[in-house]
Structure 1
Amino acid sequence: MKRPASLAVLLFVALLPLSARAEFPDRPPRIVVGQVAGGSSDIISRMVADAISPTLGQRVVVENRPGVNGAIGAEFVARSAPDGYTAYQCPMSTLSITAQLPGGAPMDVGAELLPISNVTLSSYGLVVPASSSYRNVGDILAAARARPGAVTFGSPGPGSAQHLSGELMARMGQVSMQHVPYRGAAPAVVDLIAGRIDFMMTNLGDITRQVQSGDVRLLAQGDPSRFPIFPDLPRIADTLPGFEVTGWFGFCLPKGTPAAVIARWDDAIRAAMQNEAFRQRLTEAGFSPIYEGPEAFATRLAADRAKWLDVIRAANLRAQ
């Protein structure tokens, strides 16, 4: 006759799952990027992955799953096991706009992903080809009034923050302009340099190197902050009072992820953001470093979702 298991053995078996969770991560976690390689989301994700790997004790890998302005990657993460091994680089564009755009995503990923940490704010800049005759925002608006629908602006895709920024500029300027969508910021910038589109409103991080190299010209900034690299840049609001667009890039995990695992990610990201050398690298790449933990990041996300939903409804926009 078999003897019943001892109480100590039963307690060991019962506590085993908790012990396993406490050991997170015991294999390489991954950050899913919903954009193509070379854009701001990809650049920031790879920088953060390198910075937090030593703290987590595992090499964090980055995986690109582009499409539908980040919604494909966001949905993939939202449907992943909530064990902390699959995080999402959640940009303002995807969670605040695409998630709420009619036809923009098969699920409300903004409600299915938990904010972990925000690492940077991103000013939006209005850029034109180096050969462009436009010298300021007023020149673009004047051309759009003279030739309704002829002035073109590019974006990483329908429903992106870059797209809605252009639509907002057109609405506030009471002009008609043609949106040209691309599959990511990088190919849009390529066509901008070549002069195939008239202008682009995008993260300064997407075009800082091209501005510095002289491939494109930066005409104005979409928010009131003073970016160190371009301290004297005019504001779009100087021409269109009330215009303001500020992006952000944070990290999220699937809904249901244990609090201890969320804290592990947040601790690693906070430690990276306390490193002055890492903050300097973000600044040099065209971003404004900022650390926001789960609560502060959730507050920012909720406020931006409300703001952009108003813009979506006012412009009667749908995913194309």
Structure 2
Amino acid sequence: MQDDKIPKIFISYSWSSDALVLDLANRLVSHGVDVVLDKWDLKEGNDKYEFMERCVNDSSITKVLIICDKAYAQKANDRTGGVGDETVIISSEVYGNARQEKFIPIIAERDEEGKEYVPTYIKTRIYIDLSDPEKYEVEYEKLLRNIYEKPQFVKPKLGKKPEWLEEEKANFFPVKDLIRQIRGSNTPVKRRNCIARFQEAYIEALRSYYICGVKPEEAFNNFLNTKPLRDIYLDFVETVAETEDNYAEVLAEAFEYLYNKLSCIKTFDPQANYAYEDDLDVYKTLLWELFICVIAYLRHVKDYAAINVLITYTYFLENNLFGGAIDNIYILFGE
């Protein structure tokens, strides 16, 4: 419904609900709803049946409220009186369209056992319950929201699938399997061999994230896509911490090795003769994120000695985009 469009409704009811219907109609009008009611719109000389049929089928009438009390339900089921005539018209519309949302049952009365009076033909429809004074205001608001098509709970717009879910971009099984092998190794030699193989497999998994001449937005999205591998590396860190006595040095050596491999264009394009510094930013950013996450993990487990090893370790890092000899020695966070 357009925001500036005035909703128009018709109320079908039995004389037994006169008071409720008139009060409801007046209140709806006060809230901007154009109500078509026989007391207001059916004049002497008008054809009552034609009036009912026109109101039910009028495309400008967006909702038909069916006020359900004992008398209305009985007349509707027996097809007697004016209610019976309206039932013939309404039921054909309801049965003709299982998803018809135009017709809203309004419960006005319940029996001694608390069961609502509803005509058989609309028994399965979700209703508005105005029979309980304590719940009247809540139910009235639901009705008003329905008429204006302004529901209290709105389904959010469908977003995009997170790009990091595209795990098929890289084959993660080898790195995950090597973590299991590290954890299950029964000798230090076998474990160290698995750790070395993990580093190679990790670099291999990262190859698919290399983009030459990357644009800023593309670089950012590419970095977001590395989340699965970031989480895998943190699993590796936890496994090494559980299995190696001097695990902090093992991790420091691993960071040094990864940096030198991931900051060299030859790792991703052995035939490269030129490259842009930005082409490898995704890896440098990932490494800094990993380093921060590892420090946070060590802080969580209160291994301050391991933190000291990592931040004072002498890292021999290559600063040549094409690799080769080490040009400088970096002492990260050291004096």
Same fold per TM (> 0.5)? no
Instruction: Choose between structure 1 and 2 for higher RCO, CA contacts under 8 A separated by at least 6 residues.
Output: 1
* Bigger share in strand: 1
* Bigger share in helix: 2
Greater Rg, structure 1 or structure 2?
2
TM-score, normalisation: structure 2:
0.25
